[in-house]
Homo-oligomer: A and B are copies of this chain.
Amino acid sequence: MSAAKDVLIVGAGLSGCLLAVYLARRGHRVRVYERRGDPRVAGYVGGRSINLALSARGLWGMAGVGLDRVVMERDAIAMPGRMLHDREGRTSFQPYSSRAGEAINSVSRGGLNLTLLEAAAAERGVEFLFNHWCLDVDLAGPAAWFNAPDQKNVRVEADVILGADGAFSPVRGRLQKVDRFDYSQTYLRHGYKELVIPALAGGAFAMERSALHIWPRGGTMMIALPNRDGSFTCTLFWPFEGAHSFAALPSGPGVRAFFEREYPDAAGLMPTLEEDYERNPVGSLVTVRCWPWQHEGKVAVLGDAAHAIVPFYGQGMNCAFEDVRVLAGLLDEHRGDFGAALPAFQEARKANADAIAEMALENFVEMRDLSGRAEWQYGKRIEQLLHRTVGDAVTPRYNLVSFSTVPYASAQRRGREMERVVAAVAERVPVPAVYDGAWERAVLEAARPLLGGITPVGGGA
């Protein structure tokens, strides 16, 4: 094992804090520089969504330093399925898995960030420096320039600089100027705005607590995730311009009428709708791809800084936490040698990051357009029956992504294969009057000859 290193992490967000814990436990000196103030003092000021869906990969990422249970106990609400809401206010529940206990978990970004920050701060050799804005990186040093709280610019040297500094990463901004650095940022035509369904008197949930709620409207949607205080955070995903867009619905009296027509069952639960709609900003949704993720074994990016994705598979944080644990594992494998671990890290993760970026874009279409359709729902039923009866060899893509650590790229490939099988079965076995044993036998019989082509998926990340 080579000597302990002086590591500079840019960003005290979710992945920066978790990374600090892993590196400190490996004996490194870790300084974490953060643009914002200390949330332990000033309260959490988030730049992005209020709550997140924590699933298997995020839990695996935290489990390597024993933080998964703390987070689950302190903050999580299990969401074992989707609750779909139609225009008439009718709901239907679709479990995410045919297996009991498989659920994604609503957690608050602020609470989780604080838990991880406190865990990192409690480690020996970890130091946090807030109100330091990263201006530039000297790749050769390596060193980073920060605008310090006194407004002076300071240069900080280190052995290794790791950018966990998010979708608009200054560290990546510097890498982008290196010759032959591939880079893209692509925005959706849709933006998002958060609204709230408050808890009922006494703290009760106004809707089913154990579900991720979706109001698919074809081209647009609203979703809602539960919070431990009994409230739900709703998020609109609408186009910026055009029909059913943010531009088409200015703040004012038209807002409530629109919601009563489009989301009738939710509108009645939103007493502050007009104010929330007016006050809350419309955020944009970006996919960032780049390569390479590291420079000469001394400067690297990870998490959103390397691969910001859209939120529709609930995998941004999960993927970032998986990054962190994979990187820590590679450091162990290479005896603490960042010069070997960082190149191995980008090789191990790039294809998987690309796969989840693509699946997240596809899942937006699935959520907003398809999930409300009968044929899609029938396909899900077939998929789950096969999973329940045939077993792990046909685990559906959603489950591989959310309830396993099978590499994203393998999950994506398997997903394409299963999609063809399910479509073929649905064509041969029409929707039955009753979902009985005869239907199940017909589905299994139709599927059996098709399952030979399914590729086994590899082990965990």
Report yes or no: B187 in contact with A184, Cβ–Cβ below 8 A. no
Measured between beta carbons, the chain B residues less than 8 angstroms from A183 are: 183-185
Report yes or no: B179 in contact with A185, Cβ–Cβ below 8 A. no
Task: For the complex, give the distance between the alpha carbons of A54 and B343 in Å.
Answer: 43
Q: Name the residue among A180, A182, A184, A186 with the largest chain B CB count within 10 angstroms.
A: A180
Segment 173-190 of A: residues with Cβ below 8 Å from B: 176, 179-187
- Kindly state whether residue A284 has any CB partner on chain B within 8 Å: yes
Report yes or no: B187 in contact with A182, Cβ–Cβ below 8 A. yes
* A287 nearest CB neighbor, chain B only: B182
Report yes or no: B186 in contact with A184, Cβ–Cβ below 8 A. yes
Smallest CB separation, A172 vs chain B (Å): 12
Task: For the complex, give the distance between the alpha carbons of A186 and B176 in Å.
Answer: 11
Interface size grouping (class) on chain A: 10 to 19
* A285 nearest CB neighbor, chain B only: B180
Task: For the complex, give the distance between the alpha carbons of A179 and B319 in Å.
Answer: 24
Segment 136-189 of A: residues with Cβ below 8 Å from B: 176, 179-187
Interchain CB contact (< 8 A) of A180 among B180, B182, B284: B284
Report yes or no: B184 in contact with A180, Cβ–Cβ below 8 A. no
Task: For the complex, give the distance between the alpha carbons of A185 and B186 in Å.
Answer: 12
Task: For the complex, give the distance between the alpha carbons of A421 and B186 in Å.
Answer: 36
Report yes or no: A182 in contact with B185, Cβ–Cβ below 8 A. yes
Measured between beta carbons, the chain B residues less than 8 angstroms from A176 are: 185
Residues 184-201 of chain A, each 1 if its beta carbon lies under 8 Å from chain B, else 0: 111100000000000000
Measured between beta carbons, the chain B residues less than 8 angstroms from A184 are: 182-186
Interchain CB contact (< 8 A) of A182 among B181, B182, B186: B186
Task: For the complex, give the distance between the alpha carbons of A413 and B179 in Å.
Answer: 33
Task: For the complex, give the distance between the alpha carbons of A180 and B287 in Å.
Answer: 11
Task: For the complex, give the distance between the alpha carbons of A182 and B182 in Å.
Answer: 14
Task: For the complex, give the distance between the alpha carbons of A284 and B177 in Å.
Answer: 13
Residues 309-322 of chain A, each 1 if its beta carbon lies under 8 Å from chain B, else 0: 00000000000000
Smallest CB separation, A181 vs chain B (Å): 7
Report yes or no: A284 in contact with B179, Cβ–Cβ below 8 A. yes
* A283 nearest CB neighbor, chain B only: B179
Task: For the complex, give the distance between the alpha carbons of A182 and B185 in Å.
Answer: 6
Task: For the complex, give the distance between the alpha carbons of A181 and B176 in Å.
Answer: 16
Smallest CB separation, A360 vs chain B (Å): 17
Smallest CB separation, A244 vs chain B (Å): 18
Segment 189-234 of A: residues with Cβ below 8 Å from B: none
Interchain CB contact (< 8 A) of A187 among B180, B186, B240: B180
Measured between beta carbons, the chain B residues less than 8 angstroms from A187 are: 179-182
* A286 nearest CB neighbor, chain B only: B180
Segment 344-385 of A: residues with Cβ below 8 Å from B: none
* A177 nearest CB neighbor, chain B only: B168
Task: For the complex, give the distance between the alpha carbons of A183 and B179 in Å.
Answer: 16
Task: For the complex, give the distance between the alpha carbons of A182 and B181 in Å.
Answer: 17
Task: For the complex, give the distance between the alpha carbons of A180 and B189 in Å.
Answer: 9
Smallest CB separation, A322 vs chain B (Å): 25
Residues 78-111 of chain A, each 1 if its beta carbon lies under 8 Å from chain B, else 0: 0000000000000000000000000000000000
Measured between beta carbons, the chain B residues less than 8 angstroms from A180 are: 187, 240, 284
Task: For the complex, give the distance between the alpha carbons of A186 and B181 in Å.
Answer: 7
Segment 303-337 of A: residues with Cβ below 8 Å from B: none
Task: For the complex, give the distance between the alpha carbons of A140 and B186 in Å.
Answer: 24
Measured between beta carbons, the chain B residues less than 8 angstroms from A179 are: 187, 284
Task: For the complex, give the distance between the alpha carbons of A182 and B285 in Å.
Answer: 11
Task: For the complex, give the distance between the alpha carbons of A180 and B187 in Å.
Answer: 5
Residues 228-272 of chain A, each 1 if its beta carbon lies under 8 Å from chain B, else 0: 000000000000100000000000000000000000000000000
18 contacts between A and B (CB under 8 A): A176-B185, A179-B187, A179-B284, A180-B187, A180-B240, A180-B284, A181-B185, A181-B187, A182-B184, A182-B185, A182-B186, A182-B187, A183-B183, A183-B184, A183-B185, A184-B184, A184-B185, A184-B186
Report the 4 A-B pairs with minimum CB-CB distance, sorted nearest first.
A184-B184, A180-B187, A180-B284, A183-B185
Please list the residues of chain A having a beta carbon within 8 angstroms of any beta carbon in chain B.
176, 179-187, 240, 284
Excluding A181-B185, A183-B183, A184-B186, 15 further A-B contacts by CB distance (< 8 Å) are: A176-B185, A179-B187, A179-B284, A180-B187, A180-B240, A180-B284, A181-B187, A182-B184, A182-B185, A182-B186, A182-B187, A183-B184, A183-B185, A184-B184, A184-B185
